[in-house]
Structure 1
Amino acid sequence: MAAQPPFAEVPLFPLGTVLYPGGQLQLRIFEPRYLDLVRECTRTGSAFGVCLILEGSEVGVPARPAAIGTLAHIVDFTHREDGLLGIVAEGGDRFRVLRTRARSDGLLRGDVQQWPEETPQEVPVEFALLQTILERLIETMGPQWRHAPKSSFDDAGWVGFRLAELLPLARDEQQQLLEMTDPLQRLTVLRDILPRFQKA
């Protein structure tokens, strides 16, 4: 298959969390470079890239981002009580960062290439326990998914990404699950992780 051409320059937002396709991200925006990012994306209708921070922090000098990230589309704005701008972004396609450069204000921009899309697959019966666990987690921790259609719980990719969001996983585990391109492999890893969370 021919390689996907890189997107035009995408502004990058390194964070201490992983955004998955279809996921939601709420952010407080206060640094001038990220206010510029929001203005740019709002004006052009474009996305920004979210990458897990490997070295550095979310504020100050540019952090070193993971090579695989997720495009984020701004879907809502809020003006917070603390006077800061809040945004809600939704995860889209995944990408690989080919090159990065930092502007004088510290905003990272990158040339990115689309990460391989997954083939939609139904959740096999041997992973039915994961569907049940996800339903319980959503009841207590994922209110944004409470009205998700029942068909979503039959989609192996959707189930895997939502579990990866809601389970208390280490950041490197979250990143590993993001980078997988086989939804059944992701469910296998999640199933093998579950005993860690069982009460003695």
Structure 2
Amino acid sequence: MSTFQLQLFPLHTVLYPHGLLPLHIFEPRYRTMIEMCVEHDVPFGVVQIVAGVESGGQATTAEVGTVARIQSMTRLEDGRMLITTRGEGRFKILTSSYDGECLTAVVEPYEDEVIDSLALAAATKEQFDLRALFERYHKLLSMALKTPYEKINLPNDPEFLSWMIPSFLHIQSELKQAVLLSNNLMKRLELVHELLEEETEKLSELIWEARGE
């Protein structure tokens, strides 16, 4: 499997393939990194912090992250930047070190296992159940937040869906990382279904209790 070098941006946030992630770039080291990415049209890697802080120091990261491609950038007068990135493929860190102030790693692609036609058919069926459950979750969330319900158009592709739904869930970053680590489409859909059911049940109980007061 081919390897490549990638500068990393350790965050407490998990970025999924196809997902959008806005970032406020204020540290000089990351401003320099982003300038380089824009100048050479290269991505960087978003990887979850498992120990340490986002700014002002070094962090220990998870093994698997997501390639982030810059979609737009706004430069502020004081040198800060507002960027929007889109997640591409996943990567696994083989070696990493701080090259100056930024973390640089040698990585390899982290891809899903190849599945047969029966598994793909099962994944396609699972997505219909997920879509219905997500609609219920989203309606309950709108009720809990007392905001107007606006239907979200979900993708028809089960792989895309397996990333989009967990990006909306208000769950711990460790659980989001568990989804990112799953390299079997069917198992990932089942994990997302389980997490979505739990969050839907929590919202339902919260709304029920609020109505009883």
TM-score for both structures, normalised by structure 1: 0.83
Q: Which residue of 1 aligns with 2:109?
A: 114
Which one has the largest radius of gyration?
Answer: 2
Where in structure 2 are the equivalents of 1:58-77 lying within 5 Å?
A: 58-77=54-73
Q: Amino acid of the residue matched to residue 125 of structure 1?
A: K
Structure 1 range deviating more: 171-180 or 187-196: 187-196
Does the Cα contact within 8 Å between 1:100 and 1:109 map onto a contact in 2?
yes
More helix by percentage: 2
Q: For the residues of structure 1 that align with 2:160 and 2:66, how far apart are their CA atoms?
A: 15
How far did residue 103 of structure 1 move? 2.5
Are residues 83 and 194 of structure 1, via their aligned partners in 2, closer, same or farther at CA, if it must alter by over 3 Å? Answer: same
Does the Cα contact within 8 Å between 1:134 and 1:159 map onto a contact in 2?
no
How far did residue 78 of structure 1 move? 2.2
Q: For the residues of structure 1 that align with 2:14 and 2:48, how far apart are their CA atoms?
A: 6
SS where residue 32 of structure 2 aligns?
A: helix
Q: For the residues of structure 1 that align with 2:93 and 2:126, how far apart are their CA atoms?
A: 35
Q: Amino acid of the residue matched to residue 128 of structure 1?
A: F
Q: Which residue of 1 aligns with 2:209?
A: none
Q: For the residues of structure 2 that align with 1:163 and 1:118, how far apart are their CA atoms?
A: 20
Question: Percent identity over the alignment?
Answer: 30
Q: Determine which of 85, 98, 105 is the counterpart of 1:102.
A: 98
CA RMSD of the aligned region, Å?
2.7
Q: Which residue of 2 aligns with 1:17?
A: 13
Does the Cα contact within 8 Å between 2:91 and 2:110 map onto a contact in 1?
yes
Q: Amino acid of the residue matched to residue 190 of structure 1?
A: V
Q: Deviations over 1:92-131 (max 9, x none)?
A: 1100001111123x21000001112455846433442311
Q: For the residues of structure 2 that align with 1:116 and 1:195, how far apart are their CA atoms?
A: 26
Where in structure 2 are the equivalents of 1:74-89 lying within 5 Å?
A: 74-79=70-75, 84-89=80-85
Q: Which residue of 1 aligns with 2:42?
A: 46
TM-score for both structures, normalised by structure 2: 0.78
Does the Cα contact within 8 Å between 2:9 and 2:46 map onto a contact in 1?
yes
Are residues 188 and 79 of structure 1, via their aligned partners in 2, closer, same or farther at CA, if it must alter by over 3 Å? Answer: same
Q: For the residues of structure 1 that align with 2:135 and 2:17, how far apart are their CA atoms?
A: 19
Q: For the residues of structure 1 that align with 2:133 and 2:39, how far apart are their CA atoms?
A: 40
How far did residue 44 of structure 1 move? 1.0
How far did residue 82 of structure 1 move? 8.3
Q: Which residue of 2 aligns with 1:167?
A: 169
Any unmatched runs of 5+ in structure 2?
A: 206-213
Q: For the residues of structure 2 that align with 1:194 and 1:23, how far apart are their CA atoms?
A: 18
State the number of aligned residues: 188
